[in-house]
Amino acid sequence: MPDEPPQKATETHAEKAPPTDDLVTTRHSLRLGRRTLDYTATTGRVVLREEVWEDGTFVGHQPKAEVSITSYVVDRPDGATGADRRPVTFAFNGGPGSSSVWLHLGLLGPRRVVMGDAGALLPPPYALADNTETLLAESDLVLIDPVSTGYSRVVEGSKAEPFHGYQGDIDSMAELIRLWTTRHERWLSPKLLLGESYGTLRAAALAEKLQTRYGMYVNGLVLVSSVLDLSSIDFDHQRNDRAHALYLPTYAAIAQHHGLLGRKTLRRAMADAEEYAARDYRWVLSQGDRLTAKERATAVRTLASLTGLSEEYVDRADLRIEHWRFFGELLRDRRLTVGRIDGRFTGPAASGIAEHMDADPSMDAISGPYSTALNHYLRHELGYHNDLPYEQISSRVHPWSFKDFEGRPIDVSPLLERAMRTNPHLRVQVAYGYFDGATPHHAAEDVIAHLHLPPELRANIEHVYYEAGHMMYVHEPSRLQQSQDLADFVRRCSPS
């Protein structure tokens, strides 16, 4: 018999089914004082789709990504979930490349990680506890992991690069928020965006995007460890003296915490640094080699007294103290490096002569407890199983594309201005940590101070401060205070 012709691949292999939402729902209760909070938790992945047009003809919705979220919705008295008039807060961290685990289990959610604090860290495997200060008491919550973080991935066979940049990130996050709001019938709910670090840049841009693309006006914007204008913290361009001045109060706060400024209080140390940074330091840096020997010597002495560094080091640094170098130099004589994310933390230096520290001891301290807690929590308590690694901070998103800002600073403050002018009811809370060496408080203050807003809109911005670092909720007194500040803010944002 002659050989039979080979069958086509399409006849032997069934086409792969398109991805579908992969969500698990569970019911929970949380005791808050004399009342019980009953809520529904939903976690897993939502499929994002894009409209596909060919030659002007609409041909359907094409799956493009599966985005991991965890939502918490307080039950109505009749047992149904949701309530149109109850606020809902969409929250995310930054990076770029960070999942939402930090805000989720550090501050906002109904469960929180127990890890100790600087100088009193607990050993692994750590623990989870009820978060009786959860924002869920005031607002439903949606924690979002941007594409390539957490369990979020592009659909199989697709490239992730379109999501790994400013505009692709904003577009996908806005679409997810619109989709969740629509499916859960929450268009009449007060809505807030809460971002941390790069998430503040994302949140400001999202507020404007949601308005202009979908007509979705939000009530509140929370900027935790804010950085809206990346040039305010940019040391890479050697002629950018702005960052050197704006970091100075943070250096002073960290030096004071480690006992290098004598009997100065934290408030006094920062006030002295802020006064010098605002006036004399900017002038000194602007002069270059036009400084006289006497003026330069005075500047060296002043900077050394404000930062805890030696006069010799300040002089060799040409009066310009770059932040990575500061963290490695401040406690070099103790063979310690200082945390960038949180300057209260220290760790053993890998080398006593290295120009930079080899790792951030604050991130070393924090990442383990949060990873352990999250991986246990999603599986054991929320019932979601996925064999992918949960990407706390993903390196896959780099290089991150800022092509939309080519030839100009990466600055979304004009978008925040636009959002506030369009929606004069939009309220903004900016949260600062004094020991934050990633997004220093004085730089964030400077950007907010330069917003082009009339007085009546500027009055919608409030500032809250904590004696902690970038993730201020790692510090227990700050966590308690920030939880209260957020609850109060949500109430102010919600129409009575």
Domains of the chain, first to last: 24-45+68-231+392-493 (3.40.50.1820), 236-362 (no CATH)
Are the CB atoms for 357 and 328 separated by under 8 Å? yes
pLDDT, residue 110, reads 98
Tokens of 190: 């007060």
Decide if pLDDT at 277 tops 70: yes
Decide if pLDDT at 296 tops 50: yes
pLDDT, residue 380, reads 96
Are the CB atoms for 99 and 112 separated by under 8 Å? no
pLDDT, residue 495, reads 82
- For the range 422-426, what are the long-range contacts, defined as Cβ-Cβ under 8 Å and sequence gap of 24 or more? 422/208, 422/211, 422/217, 423/211, 423/217, 423/218, 424/456, 424/457, 424/460, 425/217, 425/219, 425/460, 426/207, 426/217, 426/218, 426/219, 426/220, 426/221, 426/460
Decide if pLDDT at 217 tops 70: yes
Tell me the pLDDT tens digit for each residue of 414-428: 999 999 999 999 999
**Cα angle for residues 436, 441, 446 (degrees, 5° grid):** 150
Antiparallel, parallel or unpaired: β 116-117 and 120-121? antiparallel
CA distance 151 to 443: 33
Q: For the residues 455-460, what does the mean pLDDT come to? A: 98
Place 8 in a pLDDT band, splitting at 50, 70 and 90.
very low
> What count of residues does the chain have?
496
Q: Which residue has the higher pLDDT, 81 or 209?
A: 209
pLDDT, residue 11, reads 42
Decide if pLDDT at 460 tops 50: yes
CA distance 414 to 430: 16
Place 354 in a pLDDT band, splitting at 50, 70 and 90.
confident
CA distance 81 to 91: 20
Antiparallel, parallel or unpaired: β 88-92 and 111-114? unpaired
Tokens of 104: 């989720």
Tokens of 91: 């929250």
**Torsion angle in degrees (nearest 10) through CA of 32, 72, 144, 415:** -80
Q: Whole-number mean pLDDT of the chain?
A: 93
Decide if pLDDT at 86 tops 60: yes
pLDDT, residue 238, reads 54
pLDDT, residue 357, reads 84
If phi > 0 it is left, if psi is from -120 to 50 it is alpha, else beta; for residue 360 that is: beta
What is the residue-wise DSSP string for 358-394?
Answer: SS-HHHHHHHHHHHHHHHHIIIIIT-----S--BSB-
pLDDT, residue 314, reads 97
pLDDT, residue 168, reads 97
Place 259 in a pLDDT band, splitting at 50, 70 and 90.
very high
**Cα angle for residues 142, 172, 200 (degrees, 5° grid):** 60
CA distance 251 to 272: 12
* Range list of H helices, 107-263: 166-183, 198-209, 241-257
Tell me the pLDDT tens digit for each residue of 137-193: 999 999 999 999 999 999 998 999 999 999 999 999 999 999 999 999 999 999 999
Tell me the pLDDT tens digit for each residue of 64-74: 999 999 999 99
